[in-house]
Structure 1
Amino acid sequence: MALFQDDEARKTIRDITYDALGKYFVIDPTGMTSLRIKMSEEEPSGMIEQGLNEDSRAFHTNAIDISEMSDGVKAFTGLVSATLCQDYKVLLIDEPEAFLHPPLARKLGKTLSILTKEKDSKIFVSTHSSDFVMGCIQAGQNVNITRLTYSQGVPTARTLSSETIYEMMKNPLLRSTGVLSAMFHESVIVSESDADRAFYQEINERLNYFTNDGSTDSLFINAQNKQTIGRIVSPLRKMGIPAAAIVDLDIIKKNHEFKELCKSCNVPQALIESWGVLRGNINKIFENNNLNSNKHGLPDLPEEHRGTLELLLSNLRQYGIFPVPRGALEQWLPRLEIENNRHGPGWIMEAFDKMGENPEEPEYVKPTDNDVWEFMRIVSLWVNDPSRSGL
């Protein structure tokens, strides 16, 4: 009734529903004893929506009663209608994205944010949808996010201010990697490239399938290179999300990239500087033995020098930084006998082909106690441990 008497509010809802759903919101009074919400293909003109004459009855007969439409249409229209028709200062909404596909959830977030700003009111939303959250942010209004978790009997609450969120979303890299989706996972594992991401995610899934010792509820995402991993890990940790970084071993000889990644992972500056000598010794060992840290690793070093590299790797792991001890992605699972010149996407396609698809088949590659399986177990222990360092 409030909307039926408010021409401006109905016009606003019509514009919103047509933009989102391709149909016009109308209120049908022709039932005489009740008002019914309908969705029309045709925009009402003049008094045809509120009239009771033959033209009005014909118009509403051609419109679809909202009770006959999908739950998504009902949810979207109902929330927008409730926001506009009531005079409130605070509105509480639980799971507004229910029944909505991602683009509509994003549009709803943007619409509700704009409407509440226009009404000078506040809205509190409980949601599990990164699309809804992104829509709220895209509205350009002040949005604060509080991430609530409950793990191993320990509840936590971490709030991101609108200023922090705005700075994060200005970064194209963070927008494109789905950082907001990470809020709805227990942890995140960040690797250098999409090939790395796909491989380590598959290894983790096989660990959980056969031995149940992989990371639980982890989101695997990739940066563009070594330089950008830290830009993803840092804001995730500010949100209280355990974020581990997997990098190729040659990070140890790239002074600037190494230091920036360590800073992003909250390694104390004094410790970063102290590792400089250790890194120098390791790089010298590789050079003296004609080894490339991008293609060689611990197994290739003389046994008397392996302890030096193991010490650095152990120190880095405490802060959630995991250089590949074998060198790089392509050095894992040598028994697959992949061509030496394969790299990145080419390597991963051949690796997946040889690893098999059906767990019941004999040739399906299963976890063992060494190689990449042990590496991922170590990563999993860190992201699954609530007492981890560096957060």
Structure 2
Amino acid sequence: MTQEASNVTELDASTRRVRPALFFESITFSDGTILTFDQDDIVVFVGPNNAGKSATLRELESWVGFPRPGVVITSATTRKAGTVDDLRAFLEQNSQKSGNAESPHYGGIGYNINERNLHYFDQVGDRRPVAPFFARRLPTETRIKDSDAAPAIALFQSPPTHPIHMLLMDKNLTADISAKFRHAFGQDLTPFRAGGSSFPLYVGTKPVLKTGMDELSREFIEELQRTNVLLDNQGDGMRSFAAVLLHVLAARTHSIQFLDEPEAFLHPPQARLLGKYIAESRREESQLFIATHSADILDGLIEGGSSKVRIIRLRRDGKVNRVKELGKDQTQAISKDTLTHFSRVFDGIFFEHVIICESDADCMFYQSILSLRSISSDRRPDVLFVHTAGKHRMAKLADTLRALDVPVSVVADIDVLNEENTFKRLIESLGGNWPDIRSHWKAISDAVISQRPPLNAGQVTSMIAKEIDGMTGVGEFPSDKENNIKRIFKTISPWSALKQSGRMALPSGEVTRQFDQLHEKCAVLGLWMVPVGEIEGFCRSIGSHGPGFVEKVLEERNLETDEELKEARDFVRKLWERATHGRP
């Protein structure tokens, strides 16, 4: 069931022994997908609600101790570094011992192991007694209390059992975590060294240490308590942020960590910072498995460690959890492509469906229509609309989302047919076969160009010259002349008439039949060409364009009943029915 391989990776400088560790080598999911892992991977599970992200973390945590098939994970293999003797030597030096000499207990952050149970490290089928030493899950439900005051111990005599103990013994670590906390919240995070029965954390501006003072000096303690506030009494966001920092950055015993929804209780800026911090500052040679609903956490993780981040999207299909991975190379490529990265492409992996449009105004219009009960019924569509500021980036976004098994639809103005390469790339990005499409496209393209060849430079210049003939003076340029010149540029291309009138601008007969066949084949792929040319064609009585058009439609028309918008409703209804019933 579980295979093992020696993996000597890290030595403890004082003993020269291998630092004991466990890692996941491979994981088999319920859809049969098998993924293999490196020992320093950051694995991010994403997907819509109820896809199995949190269940995956729980099942993996359980697998470390007692391998058994779960709902999402059907099998896994692990590898270990070190031996039982290496584990014993490490615990002797780094754990808090209790009990008698013949059968001591080794305690530390998250674990308490009896010496008699150390042999379970070699037991492939059951490692439950030692598993908490190697793996820890930080669940959402306990997050805000995980940064509460640590119990008192004899510092520098007893090994730590809480991450705050690490702060008390390591000033550099304390300064690092406090700096990160200040960056997020504008306040320091200071451990209270004179805690007595417990060691809490304080939030505020840390008092300046005067000459001859230390953090146990009475003057420092009184100033800290007067000007700072206990973290335990702060908001959930601060407490959750601190808890994740402490357990990921300070608790470095675990070679496998599971982090469920690190964004819980956080605003987007803090979530992004937290993702960056845990990616760039986690323990080396350790695996981090994260379940998240937050594109901000994902952006931060990629910023802090894009070379290690693997994005795995889960989607429930009946009783099966479908798995699709965006590997480290693809993740890095997206992170370096600024336009793609900031087009909300990563937001799409948290939705059941993504609809790509050309502009923000298009997104607003189609989203408003889709939200009608007559279109999407009582259930609010779990859909993200994204725009690409033109046609040329549609294919790239579709490629990225489909690589993660995100269902995608693309809505493009009818002049997407203008450029063969752009249209071909879009068809192929949606899984289409260009030779099956090209004959339809060529018939339409030839007909459009033959109807009216493109205007050349001389013709355009002559038309503009007529508009400005006789114009002099220093007054404002007449708005009617400006509009006339703009219309000239809109008519340069032979496709302008098609965009303004849509399918009706095509010659009747064979060319129209070719367009209808092309439109159906594209719809099967998820590409929807606007039959009226562009969104303004759905309501021609409104003279505005772009955002102004959409604003007037939303303010002046009843989207549900307006007769002029019937074609828009029919168009979106067909798109949504095709999307919800699946595509080949």
TM-score (norm 1): 0.87
Shift of residue 291, structure 1, vs aligned partner: 8.5
Structure number with the bigger relative contact order (C-alpha 8 A, sep ≥ 6) is 2
CA deviations on 1:293-346 (whole Å, 9 max, x unpaired) are 101233455664543321110111111111111111111034xx212xx32122
Task: State which drifts further: 79-88 or 127-136.
Answer: 79-88
Q: Do structure 1's residue 35 and structure 2's residue 231 form an aligned pair?
A: no
Which residue number corresponds to residue 223 of structure 1? 388
Task: State which drifts further: 367-376 or 122-131.
Answer: 367-376
Secondary structure at 1:3's aligned position in 2?
A: helix
Which residue number corresponds to residue 548 of structure 2? 346
CA 1:119–1:43: 2 relative to 1, 3 Å: farther
> Could you tell me whether the CA contact under 8 Å between 2:371 and 2:381 is conserved in 1?
no
Please show how residues 1-391 of structure 1 align to structure 2 within 5 Å: 1-43=165-207, 45=209, 50-51=215-216, 53-86=218-251, 87-116=253-282, 119-141=284-306, 142-206=308-372, 208=373, 212=377, 216-280=381-445, 283=448, 292-299=497-504, 304-305=509-510, 306-334=512-540, 337-339=541-543, 342-356=544-558, 365=561, 370-386=566-582, 388-389=583-584
> Could you tell me whether the CA contact under 8 Å between 1:189 and 1:218 is conserved in 2?
yes
> Could you tell me whether the CA contact under 8 Å between 1:215 and 1:380 is conserved in 2?
no
Shift of residue 260, structure 1, vs aligned partner: 2.0
CA 1:91–1:368: 2 relative to 1, 3 Å: farther
**Amino acid of the structure 1 residue aligned with 2:167:** L
Give, in whole Å, the separation in 1 of the partners of 2:242 and 2:499: 55
CA 1:43–1:105: 2 relative to 1, 3 Å: farther
CA 1:70–1:284: 2 relative to 1, 3 Å: same
Give, in whole Å, the separation in 2 of the partners of 1:73 and 1:351: 43
CA 1:55–1:329: 2 relative to 1, 3 Å: closer
Shift of residue 52, structure 1, vs aligned partner: 5.3
**Amino acid of the structure 1 residue aligned with 2:567:** D
**Amino acid of the structure 1 residue aligned with 2:498:** S
Unpaired runs of 5+ in structure 2? 1-164, 454-493
Give, in whole Å, the separation in 2 of the partners of 1:347 and 1:54: 66
Secondary structure at 2:393's aligned position in 1?
A: helix
Secondary structure at 2:371's aligned position in 1?
A: helix
> Could you tell me whether the CA contact under 8 Å between 2:497 and 2:505 is conserved in 1?
no
Structure of larger gyration radius: 2
**Amino acid of the structure 2 residue aligned with 1:325:** P
- What percentage of residue pairs aligned between the two structures are identical? 24
Q: Which has the higher helix share?
A: 1
CA deviations on 1:139-191 (whole Å, 9 max, x unpaired) are 13410011111145542111111110111122222122111110100111111
CA 1:121–1:252: 2 relative to 1, 3 Å: same
Secondary structure at 1:45's aligned position in 2?
A: coil
Shift of residue 199, structure 1, vs aligned partner: 0.5
> Could you tell me whether the CA contact under 8 Å between 1:215 and 1:381 is conserved in 2?
no
Give, in whole Å, the separation in 2 of the partners of 1:211 and 1:55: 63
Shift of residue 369, structure 1, vs aligned partner: 9.9
Secondary structure at 1:312's aligned position in 2?
A: helix
Give, in whole Å, the separation in 2 of the partners of 1:58 and 1:132: 36
> Could you tell me whether the CA contact under 8 Å between 1:75 and 1:99 is conserved in 2?
yes
> Could you tell me whether the CA contact under 8 Å between 2:207 and 2:220 is conserved in 1?
no
Give, in whole Å, the separation in 2 of the partners of 1:300 and 1:332: 15
CA 1:188–1:49: 2 relative to 1, 3 Å: farther
**Amino acid of the structure 2 residue aligned with 1:130:** A
Give, in whole Å, the separation in 2 of the partners of 1:69 and 1:24: 13
CA RMSD in angstroms comes to 2.8
> Could you tell me whether the CA contact under 8 Å between 1:333 and 1:371 is conserved in 2?
no
Secondary structure at 1:2's aligned position in 2?
A: helix
Give, in whole Å, the separation in 2 of the partners of 1:237 and 1:300: 33
Unpaired runs of 5+ in structure 1? none
> Could you tell me whether the CA contact under 8 Å between 1:39 and 1:63 is conserved in 2?
yes
